[in-house]
Amino acid sequence: MKLSKVETKLYPLMPLRDIVIFPHMVAPLVVGRKQSIQALEDAMEKRTEIFLVTQKSAAMDDPGPDGIYQIGTLASVMQLLRLPDGTIKALVEGKTRAKIVSHLPHEQFMQVELVELPDEVIVSSKVIAYERELRKFFEEYANTNKKIAKEVVKSVRNIDDPRKLVDVICAHMPLKADEKQQILECDTLEKRIEAILEVLHREIELAELEKEINTRVKTRMGKTQRNYYLSEKVKEIQSEMGQSEDGLD
């Protein structure tokens, strides 16, 4: 069997601290590192995409090839704004997942050869069922978590591409960078949906548990306050009657 040659391309790379960019995700980034600024400016000038990949350790100032993950997202640079303090505010839009094939030397910034990792959508009963579950549980999660804006929920309802649906939902989940990275690295759409469903189940259960705890605490506080109020009322009545609590028969 003859294997087709995988097409690779060369792109500037920008490492990210504590954030994972997904395809279909628009995000503002405040950039201060010289190499990152030069990578953004190069992509903007040449009208090419930039490879955004998360660092393994956010504390690292100048990560090398071993300090970044191998899978990230190709993104377009929509806007660059230089701020008074010398940093740059960039607006980027994730396009597609990609994997590093090799690192190439460059004087100003990190440069990599990539292979794109597009998802093949095979419409099957399993994918349809997964998609329905994903929509249902995301809405349930949004109802229990007020941090999800109504506009986001509305936009999710209007998404008809399961790939975009997965990416948009994951971008709005309160996950640590390494958890989001694991989802980004899932090699099939089904695996990513399964991973997000697991997270949604967990977050919904936690939200319900927090609600139960808050209800119990409020009930307990209510009883304590009521008992304190009654105790003070009794003392007041006894004082008015010229009796002390200790002197009662």
pLDDT in tens, 63-113: 999 999 999 999 999 999 999 998 999 999 999 999 999 998 788 899 999
Q: Domains of the chain by range and CATH?
A: 9-116 (2.30.130.40), 119-242 (1.20.58.1480)
DSSP assignments along 71-106, one per residue:
EEEEEEEEEEEE-TTS-EEEEEEEEEEEEEEEEE--
pLDDT at 2: 41
- State the pLDDT at residue 5: 52
Taking the model in full, what pTM does it have? 0.79
Q: So what's the pLDDT on residue 128?
A: 87
- From the list 74, 33, 15, 71, the residue with the least C-alpha distance to 50 is 74
**pLDDT for position 118:** 85
Residues 169, 186: Cα–Cα separation, whole Å: 15
15 Cβ neighbours under 8 A, 6+ residues apart = 36, 53, 54, 55, 63, 67, 68, 110
The sign one gets for the Cα dihedral 13, 19, 24, 30 is negative
Continuous segment of H or E residues that includes residue 53: strand 50-54
Indicate the residue type of 223. K
72: CB partners within 8 A, 6+ apart:
21, 51, 52, 53, 54, 97, 98, 100, 184
Q: What pLDDT was estimated at residue 4?
A: 44
Distance, CA of 121 to CA of 130 (rounded, Å): 13
Q: Do 94 and 24 touch, CB atoms closer than 8 A?
A: yes
**Cβ neighbours, 10 Å, residue 181:** 17
| Segments in the chain below pLDDT 70 | 1-6, 236-249
Contact predicate 143/152, CB 8 Å: no
SS (H, E, C) 215-241: HHHHHHHHHHHHHHHHHHHHHHHHHHC
Choose among 41, 190, 180: nearest CA to 122.
Answer: 190
Three-class SS state of 156 = helix
Q: Are 184 and 20 in contact (CB under 8 A)?
A: yes
pLDDT for the residue 226: 73
Please choose, from the candidates 117, 118, 98, the residue with its C-alpha nearest in 3D space to the C-alpha of residue 12: 98
